């Protein structure tokens, strides 16, 4: 038994099981109303029922489209701008106050503005998702390109490599671990942005579904929607983690070799 507890995933399951049983017992014992905190069993039943309804998959598809489209847009712009700023230090210093100003502004206050400009359709939600995902990707791309050792660039210059060749052969591959780390954060932020947009001005999507469940005082349905959102966000995050482990395994190997030496 003690050897089994040494495995983190087994301990995680045990803790999760204990929490669920405590939750079930707390509600079943009458300490809180099921209208406020439903039983885990009721949430599971509601989640299964929702997964049998075609409308749930439509809402899921809307949210996924908004989040992924915003994420891809943020990734494209963030990587391009990050590389440009890393290679043009004067431009980076000139734009730094603007970037800092964008970082410190609470992004939720931009939602009404985007809705005013782009309406209640998907466009405003995609842009909200993109804005939230943009800064982590930009910052990590900038950091990754700037952290490349000058000696590596000098070697390629001595071999006659052009700026584009240095970018493709050295800079982008070397910065990829940092870029993908920013993308890990960005994909979660893009999901948050899409759901926030649906909260405030959605006619479809899981965020809109959650608000509908809340307004109908369906606590079990609200919890089931939150669980579904968590599962989808976790799967999207896992895709980026898999990409990072697949595309940058050489980076971890090289780091371990350098440490050994």
Q: Give the whole-angstrom CA distance, residue 224 versus residue 221.
A: 5
pLDDT in tens, 117-147: 887 788 889 998 998 999 899 989 988 887 7
**Domain spans in the chain, listed from the N-terminal domain onward:** 39-248
The more confident residue out of 142 and 256 is 142
Other CB atoms within a 10 A radius of the CB of residue 123 amount to 16
Confidence (pLDDT) at 255: 44
Confidence (pLDDT) at 130: 92
Segment 50-68 shows an average pLDDT of 92
pLDDT in tens, 92-103: 888 888 888 877
Task: Please give the model's pTM, rounded to 2 decimal places.
Answer: 0.82
Q: Which band of pLDDT confidence, cut at 50, 70 and 90, is reported for residue 259?
A: very low
pLDDT in tens, 184-243: 999 999 999 999 888 887 778 888 898 988 888 888 889 999 999 999 999 999 998 888
CATH topology of domain 39-248: MetI-like fold (1.10.3720)
The dihedrals phi and psi of 232, each to the nearest 5 degrees, come to -65, -45
Confidence (pLDDT) at 156: 63
Segment 82-86 shows an average pLDDT of 87
pLDDT greater than 90 at residue 66: yes
Other CB atoms within a 10 A radius of the CB of residue 125 amount to 33
Question: Which run of H or of E encompasses 227?
Answer: helix 219-247
pLDDT greater than 90 at residue 107: no
Other CB atoms within a 10 A radius of the CB of residue 219 amount to 19
């Amino acid at each position: 038994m003690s050897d089994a507890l040494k495995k983190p995933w087994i301990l995680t399951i045990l803790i999760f099981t204990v929490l669920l049983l405590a939750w079930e017992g707390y509600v079943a014992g009458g300490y809180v109303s099921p209208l406020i905190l439903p039983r885990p069993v009721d949430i599971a039943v509601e989640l299964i029922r929702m997964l049998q309804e075609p409308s749930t998959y439509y809402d899921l598809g809307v949210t996924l489209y908004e989040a992924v489209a915003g994420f891809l847009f943020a990734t494209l712009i963030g990587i391009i701008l990050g590389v440009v700023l890393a290679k043009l230090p004067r431009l980076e210093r000139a734009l730094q106050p603007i970037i800092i100003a964008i970082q410190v502004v609470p992004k939720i206050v931009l939602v009404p503005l985007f809705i005013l400009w782009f309406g209640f359709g998907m466009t405003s939600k995609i842009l909200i998702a993109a804005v939230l995902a943009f800064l982590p990707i930009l910052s990590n791309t900038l950091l990754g390109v700037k952290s490349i050792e000058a000696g590596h660039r000098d070697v390629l210059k001595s071999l006659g490599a052009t700026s584009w060749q240095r970018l493709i052969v050295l800079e982008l591959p070397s910065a990829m671990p940092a870029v993908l780390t920013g993308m890990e954060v960005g994909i979660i932020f893009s999901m948050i942005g899409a759901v926030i947009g649906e909260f405030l001005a959605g006619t479809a999507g899981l965020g809109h579904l959650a608000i509908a469940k809340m307004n109908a005082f369906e606590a079990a349905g609200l919890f089931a929607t939150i669980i579904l959102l968590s599962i989808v966000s976790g799967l999207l995050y896992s895709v980026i983690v898999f990409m990072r482990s697949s595309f940058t395994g050489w980076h971890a190997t090289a780091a371990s070799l350098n440490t050994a030496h």
